[in-house]
Amino acid sequence: MHDAIIIGAGPVGLALAASLESRGCSVALVERQEPDRLARPAFDGREIALTRTSRAILTELGAWERLPPDEIFPLRAARVLNGHGRRAMALSPADGRGSLGDLVPNFRIRTALFDVVRERPGIELSTGEEVRGARDEGRDGVVVDLASSRSMRGRALIAADSRLSMLRGLFGIGAEIRHLSKTMLVFRVFHDRPHDRIATEWFAHGLTIATLPLGPGQSSIVLTVTPAEAARLMRIDDADLSAYVCRHLAGRLGAVRIASSRHAYPLVVTCADRFAAGRVALAGDAAIGMHPVTAHGFNFGLMGQRRLAEELSRALHDETDVARALGRYAIGHRRETRPLYLATNAITRLFTRESPAGHMLRQAVISAGTRLAPVRSGLVDLLG
């Protein structure tokens, strides 16, 4: 019997497996993808803004040192703009720390964490496997039935299988699921003007466009548009897309040239009604799937898996009740994440309202942020 069975070898599932193994737990990690795709994930366009806490967690796991140094991009500051307004709300460290965090490509993080996991002797990795069923048998533990006709037993079951988690529904855990009728389109560009390591989130009329600073003369572009517009932008050639980006950025980065493949992601935000039930717990996006506007979903996932590993390993080592340990994790992680989830949803509703009143209110919020230092420092502390 394994101490924990984790379903889903995304970044949070991989991190949790490594966290538990480092605390002396035996882990089974089940993933439907084949090992080659896990070992060498393709570029997917997503750049992850890692906080100082996330960097510390990745360092503890032995993953940070495996990241290519030339693909770690320090983020000096961020700014928020509204429509055609000239005033921007700027966010920057207030204590001389030098940066808000680091931008790292998602596929590089996945590669580093997978390399950590496959070197750990206490982790049994099962790839190319589909879960057909699972059940909580109380004191006898949990059972997971795989499509290969194999069954696994464990003392706890962790669902890390995406924000549309199958396991969440299987165990009767409800969730708020909001399909936002928007698509996020991401790709890299070369540009003439320097970005000064400043990220920009611009709520223009009819779309949101963000620029994330990478290497010199290179940024990641994040467009939030309607699904129909995203489909059109996926079809047009590089020259037309470059012109589109340059026009909507109003020349802020100078001439722009497409530098990578394009990737589209429908926007869905989710929050489970509870993060644990009996000997089953939810981790990462299966627990709470954030809107990307705050760039904090991945950071929450890393913090949550550390809390879960601490609670579960302590219960296993002390031979105390596993269900109670998972319940403590659930309460703590929900308390930590729910306020920003609600605030983020409110921000996105405010900043995507296409009405004169909405535009005026957005500008008032940004103006307040530019004048009031506590507002800016509060946001930095919240996101850091």
Residue 293 pLDDT level (bands cut at 50, 70, 90): low
45-95 per-position pLDDT tens digit: 999 999 999 999 999 999 999 999 999 999 998 888 776 555 556 666 655
The pLDDT mean for the chain works out to 88
Residue type, 185: L
Degrees, nearest 5: CA angle 167-339-17 = 40
22-40 per-position pLDDT tens digit: 999 999 999 999 999 999 9
Tokens representing residue 84 in the block = 């055609």
Determine the pLDDT at residue 354. Answer: 55
15 closest CA partner among 72, 55, 74 = 55
Domains of the chain are 4-68+106-172+275-347 (3.50.50.60)
Distance of alpha carbon 57 from alpha carbon 12, whole angstroms: 11
Residue in the structure block whose two tokens are 């935000």:
269
Residue 374 pLDDT level (bands cut at 50, 70, 90): very low
Residue type, 147: A
